[in-house]
Structures are given as C-alpha cells and as structure tokens.
Amino acid sequence: MNPSESYYTSARNVQILIYLLKQHKIKKIVASPGTQNMDFVASVMRDDFFQVFSAADERSAAYIACGMAVEAREPVVITCTGATASRNYLSALTEAYYRHVPIVAVTATQLSSWIGHNIPQVIDRDAMQNDVCKCSVRARYINTPDDEWDCTVQINKALLAIHHHGTGPVHINLERGNGTDFSVKQLPAARMIRRFAIGDDLPAFPTGRVAIFMGAHRPWTEQEMVAIDAFCQAHDAVVFTDQTGNYKGKYFVPATLVASQDRYDSPIFETDLLIQMGDVSGDYALQGAAGRFTHHVWRVDPDGKIKDNYHKLECVFEMDELAFLQAYAIHNSDDVKHGDDFLDECQQELAMVREQVPELPFSNIWIAQQLAPRIPAHAALHFGILNSLRSWNFFQTDPSVTTFCNVGGFGIDGGVSTLLGASLASPDKLCFGVFGDLAFFYDMNALGNRHLGRNVRIILVNNATGVEFKLYIHPASRLEEEVNGVIAATGHYGNKSPQLVQHYAQDLGFTYLRATNKQELLDIADTFLDPQLSDRPMLLEVFTSPDDDNKALLTLNSLVLSPENRRKQAIKKILGEKTIATARKILGK
C-alpha cells in the first residue's frame, strides 16, 4: 500500500486502545521493534497527537519510559512484540511499581488461545508478579459485540488503574489477529468510563429523565432515605427496585409486573440516565427493562469497581450513596426541577397493569398475592432465589418489612440457614422465609440447630420439583417431559409426602400448618401471620402443582399488549405461524 494512503489499523481492539489513550491524554510512547505491535505502532505514528520514540532493547525502553514519565509528569506507554520481549520490561516495571511511576505496558501477542501449543513466539502473560503492575488486562482481538464490550471494559479498567489509590504501572496484553489493514481514516470512538471520588470535580448532572436502579441492598438508614427522597424530588426521578433493594419510600416504583410483560415495552423504562446502586439484582425482568431502554448509566459504589452489566456504564462514583445523593441534591441548582411528574406517570402505569390481574391459580405467585400485604409490620422476610423471589416481587409488603434473598451467589443451599442467622440476631422480631422444596430440603438441617427460636416462620412451597426449569420462560422447558428427571430434579424428598416435613418439623418443636388449596391457606393465614410472637416457630407447607405455578406466571406476564404487538398478533392469526417463519427466513430476519 502506498504509505500516503495508510491510516489507522482496522483492528478494533487497537482502535479502542488508541482512542482511550487520547481521551486520557497519554501521548508519549516508547516503542520496540516487532510484528505483533505493528498495528498499534503504525497507527500511532500516523496520528499527530502521539510522540513516538524508538528503543530497540525492551529493558532499556522501559527504563527510558520511567525517566520520561517522572520528568514530564505524565504517563508513558511502552510497547513490544511477542517472544521474550515483554520479559525485559520486568525490571523497569518493578522500579515503577515501587516508585509510583505511571507506565502503560502494551505487550502485543498472538491470540491467547494459542498459548502452550508450540506456536512460535507465543508466551503466557496471564500471571503477573505481584509487584510489577497495579492492574493487568487482556485486550482481546474483536470478532463479536461481546468481544468489543469486554475489550472496552478491560482497557478502561487498566487506564483508570494508573491513578487509582496511588499512581503506578499497568499492563495491557494486546491480542493481534490476522488480516488487519490500515484503511481506517477516522479513528472511531470508543466508550470511555470515568471514575470520581469524593473531592473530585463531579460531572454536571444531565438533563432528561432519571431513575435510580437498586440491586440488593441492606436496609437504608433514616438519613439515607431522606437523601434519596430529596434527590428524587430535585430531579423528578424515581427508584426502580425489587424486594431486595429495601427501599420502600415515596419514590419507590415496584415495577416488576410492568417489566415482566412479554408483549409490552412500557415507556416508563425509557430514561436518559439510570443510576445504579446496590449489589446484584435477582429481578431479571426489572433490571432487563431498566437497562435496555436507558441511554446512559452511572454507578455509585464505594468499592469503585467497574461493573458494567448494561454495557453502557459511563461514570463510576467511588463513594457511599449518601455522599453521592447529597452532592447532586445541591448540584446544578439552577436546573432543579420540582414536581413528581415521572413518579405520577409510573404510578398510573402500575395501576393500569395491576387492574388487569385476574384470579390466579393456586401457586407460589397466588400465595404471595394473598400473604405479602399481610406480613406483619417490622418483620423480616427472606426468599429462596429465582421462583420464590420472582413470585413475591410481583406484590408489595408493608414498607417497614425488610426483605432479603441470597442473590450474591444465587445458591439454593443456604437460604434457611441465612434466615436462622437473622432470627438469632433479632430474637424479638418475626423472621419469615419462603422457600421451594429443593431449597428447603437442601438446607433443612438448619432447623435442627439448638439455638432456633420461636420467631421463625417458614413457608415451604412444595411442588416436588425445581419448577424454575419447567416455567415457560426457562429454556429447559422446551425439553417438555424430559426436563423432569434430572434438570428439574422432580420427585425427590418424599415426592410431596404429606407426613415427611410434618414429622420433622413437629419433632423439632414447630407448629406445622398445611394448605393444599386456596381455602385451606386462607383459613390458616391468621394463625401464621399473627403479629405477636407465638410459643413456637411455625412451618407452613403449601402443596402446589408445577402446572399451576407456570399458568400463574404466564397469566401475570400476559396482562398488556403493546399496540405494535397487537398488530403482530393480528397478522399472525391471518398468516399463521408457519408462513411468518418462512417469511422471516426469506428476509433473513
């Protein structure tokens, strides 16, 4: 190719690196010779922003960079090829590590999957010595959107680490694929992630529609609740969260039911900015809708880590929520909006969807519908993961009830023990738990613990299977009958024995209650929900059928049809599914 026609490499991972180096204003590069870094080196050489110096010997190149970085008071990039080139960076990177010198070591390599196959020049750089860099990442060669996301996040992470909690060197292992060219005239943009700490100049608060999304969170303090409400009031914002978020204040929008609609995309999720707080959310539907339709994502997290589940993260605020809320409650005071328009819109939407809920079959969902509003004030309520949490997320408890689920690791193995632990910490408080049969039998030995108190009340929803895998929303349900034997583990633990749990529970001093239909459950509800501490702990076993569990979910998820979907349904009726499938094939859609 005529050099005058040569521009940036078409290798997307290299483009992202170059773009983000420019955003971080890192312009000095000490480059060593070789093949694997040629896409990077040739591209930066042609960009006037960069100053590229040559140093043939990598050991010397890295020390040159150290001297340059300290003298110029700015980060310096070193870059080398495969073979043993990068090994020679170690002494200077050790020096940089202990003297807090900002070096970005870009070691280029062939694909990492080639490691260990006697392929010439391919060495393994996955493990770093503890004291040569603050952060080491792989910038993978990009074939898919997921590769691009990963590469973007990794490069951002490394560049942010240079000055995070003190300055020091970082490492980017840059993969090179085959067949790149230098045809790209304009360097395409990449997503930059920025991190802010207390005391930094914070970014201006954007205009537009704002929502907070809360994952699992410990109960909020009174002061934090006041700050959330003040923030929402100032910015006409709302809070999307589920039971595990433990925010049930004025701006709480319990939108799980709206988000779960299979054939309706609610406009309430169309936000300009979504501010994430808290840990993992077990509410797949709500977090999916909140992330899918927002434009920008900020995250507030005291650990300052990059957690980018929506692939849209732009700013991380390394501070506790209170500091963030207070900073922005007074920020941009000229822009402060007064009024709860967005909250009003959300509440109308919730009412519109809730109105459509018909009589539901006897199921975990129906139990939640009946009992959630009646859980006594100030109780704690624990859920098994997935189906139990999902069922109870559709309905609301009294705001004083605190709500928990093991969504950190998503195990069915410790829910009952976790409930027991909570009940021991607060012996005067009622502690309820809702568990499926597999979760219950997994962890039932906890009920034999001699510390167990009378404040524990458990609902065991026994359908003799892991119904999660049989629900129509689960991919395994397509296996139909085949799902039962192993994937859903049907028929274990007495296969809905009417005596097994009763004997165990009674022998351990529980009051045992049972319901096999709606009326039976309603009849014992007063006893089970007695707000006074009873003499004994209670165990309520409810026998449901997987079919009813499935029907209840399908019913709740099919309440509203969007106008667009109504059209699709009508066309389907006229054309038939097969014709549509053939048409899709022809169109390639």
Ligand X SMILES: Cc1ncc(C[n+]2csc(CCOP(=O)(O)OP(=O)(O)O)c2C)c(N)n1
Binding stretches for ligand X (CB under 6 A):
364, 384-388, 410-413, 436-439, 461, 463, 465-468
Q: Tell me the sheet residues that pair with 170.
A: 104, 135
- C-beta of residue 214 within 8 angstroms of C-beta of residue 240: yes
Residue 345, classed as helix, strand or coil, is helix
Question: Which of Mg ion, ligand X, none does residue 136 bind to, with CB < 5 to 8 Å depending on kind?
Answer: none
Q: Would you say 43 or 463 has its CB closer to Mg ion?
A: 463
User: Cβ 321 to Mg ion, closest distance in Å?
Assistant: 36
Question: Which of ligand X, Mg ion, none does residue 548 bind to, with CB < 5 to 8 Å depending on kind?
Answer: none
Residue 301, classed as helix, strand or coil, is coil
Q: Would you say 364 or 393 has its CB closer to ligand X?
A: 364
Question: Which of Mg ion, ligand X, none does residue 170 bind to, with CB < 5 to 8 Å depending on kind?
Answer: none
Question: Which of Mg ion, ligand X, none does residue 412 bind to, with CB < 5 to 8 Å depending on kind?
Answer: ligand X
User: Cβ 403 to ligand X, closest distance in Å?
Assistant: 17
DSSP of 265-292 = --GGG--SEEEEESS----HHHHHHHHH
Q: Using CB under 5 A as the criterion, which residues of the chain lie in contact with Mg ion when the complex forms?
A: 436-437, 463
User: Cβ 385 to ligand X, closest distance in Å?
Assistant: 6
User: Cβ 491 to ligand X, closest distance in Å?
Assistant: 12
- Round to whole Å and give the CA distance between 372 and 401: 10
Question: Which of ligand X, Mg ion, none does residue 411 bind to, with CB < 5 to 8 Å depending on kind?
Answer: ligand X
Question: Which of Mg ion, ligand X, none does residue 68 bind to, with CB < 5 to 8 Å depending on kind?
Answer: none
Closest Cα partner for 30 from 40, 16, 20? 40
User: Cβ 367 to ligand X, closest distance in Å?
Assistant: 11
Q: Would you say 233 or 490 has its CB closer to ligand X?
A: 490
Dihedral sign, CA of 265, 266, 272, 278? negative
How many alpha carbons lie under 13 Å from residue 422 in its C-beta half-sphere? 24
Q: Would you say 301 or 437 has its CB closer to Mg ion?
A: 437
Q: Would you say 324 or 392 has its CB closer to ligand X?
A: 392
- Round to whole Å and give the CA distance between 325 and 228: 7
Q: Would you say 136 or 387 has its CB closer to ligand X?
A: 387
Residue showing the smallest CB distance to ligand X in the complex: 436
In eight-state DSSP terms, residue 561 is -
- C-beta of residue 174 within 8 angstroms of C-beta of residue 106: yes
In eight-state DSSP terms, residue 8 is B
Q: Would you say 75 or 436 has its CB closer to Mg ion?
A: 436
Residue showing the smallest CB distance to Mg ion in the complex: 436
User: Cβ 71 to ligand X, closest distance in Å?
Assistant: 55
User: Cβ 465 to ligand X, closest distance in Å?
Assistant: 6
Question: Which of Mg ion, ligand X, none does residue 386 bind to, with CB < 5 to 8 Å depending on kind?
Answer: ligand X
The token duo for 359 is 């009589």
Q: Would you say 410 or 472 has its CB closer to ligand X?
A: 410
- Round to whole Å and give the CA distance between 331 and 225: 19
Question: Which of ligand X, Mg ion, none does residue 413 bind to, with CB < 5 to 8 Å depending on kind?
Answer: ligand X
User: Cβ 389 to Mg ion, closest distance in Å?
Assistant: 13
- C-beta of residue 29 within 8 angstroms of C-beta of residue 44: yes
587: phi then psi, degrees, rounded to nearest 5? -75, -10
- Round to whole Å and give the CA distance between 43 and 576: 54
